[in-house]
Amino acid sequence: MKKNIPNLTLEEKTRAPYNFVQLNDIIVPSRLNKYIEMEQLKNTKINYANKNGKKILNEAGYKAFIKDGKKYSGYFDVTIENITPLYIGGESGLLREGIHKAIPGSSLRGCLKNIFRIITNSAMRCSENGNFNDGLFFWRSIAKDDLFSKEYLEEMSMQDRDNNKSIPKARAGFLIEFMGKKYVCPANFEVINNTTNIKKVSESPYIIWKNDYVDIFSGNIDKKDKRYFYRITKPIWDKRIAIANDFMKAYKLDRNRNSKNLFKLKVNSTQSIPKGLKFLEYALKKRYKIISPCFYCLEDGEVCHLGSSPYYRIPYKKTVAMHVPTELKLPKIDFTDAIFGNKEYWGSRVYVEDCYLNDEEEKNAFYKNFYLDVSSPNPTAYQFYLNVDENDNVQNWNGNTTIRGYKLYWHKKINWKGKQKEDIYRKYSKVIIRPLIDKCHFNGKVRFENLDKVELGALTYLFKLGEENCCYKLGMGKAMGLGSIKILADLYLREDEYYTKLFDDKGNFKAYKLEVNKQEYIECFNQYMYKVLNEHSKESLELYQKRMNNLKIIMGIENINDNKWCQKVSYMDMNNDIDKEILKKKIPLPSISEVIMK
């Protein structure tokens, strides 16, 4: 579950193009939350735990909140400049399909909503209205010097009858499909010394079907520990063992499985299995679809997990959601719920429009023939994504620790050099893109309806970050340096007499007015946050101030042109011996403040 690591010098610390703003310790409820609680107190006969009852009380509380007190409607006139090249998606290079080049409102909305959660101490929930998808990661650890090899081998190995050596717990079998469902039929297996001419395999697992058995080669045979293979024999076709649904779901969603996804192995389709194999005759008569030989473990009579060799990757016992503090999953209505909407009970009161590229900048606005590394960050690298415990012990996803917080990418510039498309296809197995050149300008609106003064202050504070030399991240390729955008916004409020006086004395349309004193609303929000946090504890207030400071650091662009800085916030290089050693030691990712101090 956890392991001590040695004291390390600053030079040994790990690096990444991203980091984390710490989790908040409490949810700061919006004022809407109070109105819903009042409805619960008034209507004690309605069960809030019931879905229909919850809907009735939430909608009633929302209506009462909207009607009570002054509300503000209007828009932010938004100007966006991309500080680095920008790529949203699409082979054509257009930021949005159609005649005009634009930043899609949906993309900008997601970007703004993520930062809004942080500045308002919102909840961190796994749901349709939440801000992350739950997941179960897979792992394997068999190297002697690995931090968690003992934990892995305790689950996947046992002593033989003579107690002389360790043998795998996994059993052999065949993964089959029968009447639309997956099962495992048990079988025997033995380890065979590799005396064949097969020293290297192009696919893993590499399967050879014989008349009475099947041989499985896993990985490169030229390695010391790969001078053997597994032979599976004597399947019991009349015995079908069900596979646990939770495992099936997690296995199919595992993005790191690559060619070892037993459910998708092309070489193991029914068509590729040689015809007339004696040991498959009975199975085919029973109308089984033979998918693949496999290894598996049992729990409560079900297959709890399986893989292509006896020591395969197994699921952690805890999901991502289990590493989020309970306090941040409480059903309080936070500012993000209140303003950006809760699909079941009320709609959004913020509407983000597409932001269009200035007409004079459309010509020659895109780079040509660049490659984008589509590899994604790997949350199974637990030393990057999880906090150490109070004794600085590194923990994996089975441990009793929390996630590090909200993930954001550092800003950095990269030197773009055009490449011929043929060169890219030959040298890189990447995605060809046409990013927008830097220093382009977009204009659009973010409209809002019926916000109270605190909510308007929170939204205004969100846009004020752009005035403090902070930039947001948008689109793809964030780790490479793409997508740094600066947002500036003017606030326009709809006048109180909007419904009675749409025109001024001269007959001109008059609906919105530029608000010069934006700070008034920000102060209202700040005072609300101070009051709630300080009433909870002094530590909550101090943590919030620390989080806001770290947010501004990672959103800052002071070092964006510094080559040393760009190296400091790059991915670890697996071709570099020092970096490989750091990753091997599972050294934790330094915090935002530690990165700046290095």
Distance (Å, rounded) from C-alpha 296 to C-alpha 311? Answer: 10
In a domain, 108, yes or no: yes
Which two three-digit tokens encode residue 143?
């190297």
In a domain, 409, yes or no: yes
My answer on whether 302 and 369 are in the same domain is: no
My answer on whether 298 and 381 are in the same domain is: no
In a domain, 80, yes or no: yes
Quick one: which of 357, 413, 359, 382 has its CA closest to 567?
413
Which two three-digit tokens encode residue 432?
């060809």
Please give the radius of gyration of the chain, using alpha carbons only, rounded to the nearest integer.
Answer: 29
Q: Tell which of 263, 289, 315 closes a domain.
A: 315
Which two three-digit tokens encode residue 501?
């006086």
My answer on whether 117 and 195 are in the same domain is: no
My answer on whether 272 and 347 are in the same domain is: no
My answer on whether 49 and 157 are in the same domain is: no
Extended strands (E) in 437-516: 441-451, 472-473, 484-494, 512-514
Burial 188-200 (b: 16+ CB within 10 A, else e): ebeeeebeeeeee
Q: How many helices (H) and strands (E) does the chain have?
A: 15, 26
Distance (Å, rounded) from C-alpha 387 to C-alpha 400? Answer: 10
Distance (Å, rounded) from C-alpha 163 to C-alpha 176? Answer: 34
Q: At what angle do helices 105-119 and 538-555 cross, to 10 degrees?
A: 140
In a domain, 320, yes or no: no
Encode the chain (598 residues) as per-residue pLDDT tens digits: 555 554 545 456 789 999 999 999 999 999 999 999 999 898 888 888 888 888 999 999 999 999 999 999 999 999 999 999 888 875 444 565 455 688 999 999 999 999 999 999 999 988 655 667 788 899 998 887 888 999 999 999 987 777 677 889 999 999 999 998 999 999 999 988 876 666 666 666 788 889 999 998 876 544 554 567 899 999 999 999 999 999 999 998 887 776 567 877 554 444 467 888 888 999 988 999 888 899 999 999 999 999 988 999 999 999 999 999 999 999 999 999 999 998 889 999 999 999 998 877 776 677 766 666 655 667 778 999 999 887 788 999 999 999 999 999 999 987 665 444 555 444 444 567 778 888 999 999 999 999 999 999 999 999 999 999 999 999 988 998 999 999 999 999 997 654 444 455 555 555 788 888 899 999 999 999 999 999 999 999 999 999 999 999 999 999 999 989 998 998 888 888 888 888 888 889 999 999 998 7
My answer on whether 455 and 499 are in the same domain is: yes
My answer on whether 99 and 147 are in the same domain is: no
In a domain, 326, yes or no: no
My answer on whether 298 and 341 are in the same domain is: no
My answer on whether 120 and 142 are in the same domain is: no
Yes or no: say if 210 and 231 are a contact pair by the CB < 8 Å rule.
no
My answer on whether 310 and 341 are in the same domain is: no
Which two three-digit tokens encode residue 475?
């689109």
In a domain, 322, yes or no: no
Quick one: which of 214, 244, 250, 241 has its CA closest to 229?
214
Quick one: which of 531, 447, 400 has its CA closest to 121?
531
Task: Find where tokens 């037993």 sit.
Answer: 262
My answer on whether 96 and 9 are in the same domain is: yes
Q: What residues pair up with 406 in beta bridges, in sequence order?
A: 21
Distance (Å, rounded) from C-alpha 422 to C-alpha 28? Answer: 54
In a domain, 43, yes or no: yes
In a domain, 324, yes or no: no
Domains held by the chain: number: 2
My answer on whether 158 and 130 are in the same domain is: no
Q: Tell which of 283, 315, 347 closes a domain.
A: 315
Q: Label residue 252 exposed, middle or buried (CB < 10 Å: 0-12, 13-18, 19+).
A: exposed
Q: Length of the chain, please? A: 598
Distance (Å, rounded) from C-alpha 216 to C-alpha 172? Answer: 11
Q: State the residue range of the domain holding 293.
A: 138-315
Q: Tell which of 282, 315, 348 closes a domain.
A: 315
Q: What residues pair up with 306 in beta bridges, in sequence order?
A: 296
Yes or no: say if 427 and 40 are a contact pair by the CB < 8 Å rule.
no
